[in-house]
Structure 1
């Protein structure tokens, strides 16, 4: 029986996902077809999700909140991010996940980025930012600062995240880290200093950060500026941007000029795809997908044409 899988969003014509996932399914001999589902209208996207005529859907801008609402069951990663980028259909039940954070962190650690004991700034207040914030928190930074254009909104989003994390810690069995050497939910709730700010009021924090992660969509359109004053950047910092494939962004150009180590979002795309394949292995009980993560990463990176 052919299983259908999609990437849902608008626009998605540039997406590398079909090439990556189909390379894996073809390699292991599964009759699974992964295709683009480019839907401009919100109502039509909601209708597509409601029909549930798929094994899974990867969800990108702007439909992560709609995917979250469509789910019957939500993993902690989706609940804390208030948005889902993966919906898996297990016998008619839609399960929501957010793999952005785990994919981001797993790739950055693969690239040699160290988080333990550092100061990390995450730019943006949407689901992608929160997913990354949560995954970074599990690595054990000394402080983790959520930043946005509006300090009041950043405060609200961070407080909501911290309250919801605290509720999970207080009312469930401690959730383990997804990787050996990381922190459990209870450990990160107690040990990490969660902070917030705006790009204007927290200039000193940006300058003092060891790692800066831009999880905003800035850079996807020609002429987009960086989210903050890039004069604050300097050598010794690592700057990561979730955007990839749109040429040299303003942030990339400034980070390289300042002597920072700059990394774009291509590796994160592959990293979260690896997480998604492992989810599908579990919900479908498909033994053919029991592939070592390093091998999965290499297959998908090559299929996407990435030199990672």
Structure 2
């Protein structure tokens, strides 16, 4: 159906013709991805729906097979399945091949499943929207070395960052993450954070109900841009401290919207209605 038709599930309800997508994770009931997806489908006038699918740890590959079996159009993937689905997919993007992790699965017309990773693009899109800037010729300090940190580090290097500093408790994981940024990637320490132009918390530290901080906010200063991939709460203790010091600070809401927008484009072939998705996020967080 074409955008603007009366085929979306909000006006007709779910039928046998409705295309089904979703998000898998453990846990997953807290995820706002279905709300963003459904807002996009409604804005595009598509008879599509997104729902959460609880999939217990260790069963990510089975979810990929279930996707083929029941004909799901696509899945968003969250913890702890990103590595497993990358291995179980029929095809992988260059980003997934490099990262070893996927957060988006796309069904092809022939039933094959392609794995994508939208976190890097989501971060760059959020930085441009929120801070009206790019990483080109800037030094980015990435706090953490997990899946999101790996995607962000690689994306920053590809987008022309002058340096990508990986600050993580485990040196071995930091080395892997820095390697994804190529010649501009470096394993760094907390003492290196003040020298960065952009500082991003790429961990879940500070996510409700946690009030911990990924680094001492005294290491941050005016002139830097500080981003947190956490969006719940909308302002973590760390972001609040940075903002109180007069530092430009942004939460993970825009990244969530932009990485979901890339998934929508992969699934439907339509440019995602970002404004509608952002409005849905604000509604659910208010």
TM-score category of the 2 structures, normalised to the smaller one: 0.7 to 0.9
Q: Which residue of 2 aligns with 1:49?
A: 64
CA contact (8 A) 2:208 2:232 kept: no
| 1:140 equivalenced with 2:160 (yes/no) | yes
| Residues in 2 aligned to 1:35 and 1:156: alpha-carbon distance in whole angstroms | 34
Counterpart Cα distance in 2 of 1:22 and 1:132: 26
Report what 1:184 is aligned to.
none
Contact 1:239 1:260 in 2 (8 A): yes
Q: Please list the CA deviations of residues 247-282 of structure 1 after superposition, one character each: whole Å capped at 9, or x if unmatched.
A: 532321221233211100000111111111211234
Structure-2 separation of matches of 1:46 and 1:224:
34
Matched residue, 1:81: 99
2:35 is the alignment partner of 1:15: no
**1:299 and 2:286 aligned:** no
* Matched residue count: 263
SS in 2 for 1:240: strand
Q: Which residue of 2 aligns with 1:196?
A: 187
* CA offset digits 1:63-118 (Å, max 9, x no partner): 11122122111101112222100011112211111101101101211221332221
| Structure 1 residue 130 displacement after superposition | 1.1
Deviations 1:172-208 (A, max 9, x none): xxxxxxxxxxxxxxxxx6xx622112xxxx2332011
* Equivalence map 1:1-308=2 (5 Å): 1-39=17-55, 41-52=56-67, 53=70, 54-90=72-108, 91-111=110-130, 112-159=132-179, 161=180, 193-197=184-188, 202-246=189-233, 248-282=235-269, 289=270, 291=271, 296-305=273-282
TM-superposed deviation, 1:25: 1.7
CA–CA distance in 2 between the matches of 1:84 and 1:275?
13
| In structure 1, C-alpha distance between the alignment counterparts of 2:190 and 2:49, rounded to whole Å | 47
* Structure 1, 41-50 or 91-100: larger mean CA deviation: 41-50
- In structure 2, what is the Cα distance between the partners aligned to 1:95 and 1:109? 28
CA distance in 2, matches of 1:103, 1:152: 26
Give RMSD over aligned pairs. Answer: 2.0
Distance, in Å, in 2 between the alignment partners of 1:122 and 1:81 is 16
Q: Give the TM-score of the pair, scaled to structure 1.
A: 0.79
Q: Structure 1 runs of 4+ off > 6 angstroms?
A: none
Q: Supply the distance in 2 between the matched residues of 1:113 and 1:28 (Cα, whole angstroms).
A: 29
Q: Residues 226 and 242 of structure 2 are in contact (CA less than 8 Å); yes or no, is this contact kept in structure 1?
A: yes
Report the alpha carbon displacement of residue 138 of structure 1 after superposing the two structures with TM. Answer: 2.4
Q: Per-residue CA shift, 1:113-140, capped at 9, x if unaligned?
A: 3322211111111221111111111221
Report the TM-score, using the length of structure 2 for normalisation.
0.85
Instruction: Write the deviation string for residues 204-245 of structure 1: whole angstroms up to 9, x where unpaired.
Output: 320111101111111124244222222211111111011102
Cα deviation per residue 1:11-60 (whole Å; 9 max; x = unaligned)?
22232222221122223332211111123x22444423222231100011
5+ residue gaps in structure 1? Answer: 163-188, 283-288
Segments of 5+ residues of structure 2 without an aligned counterpart are 1-16
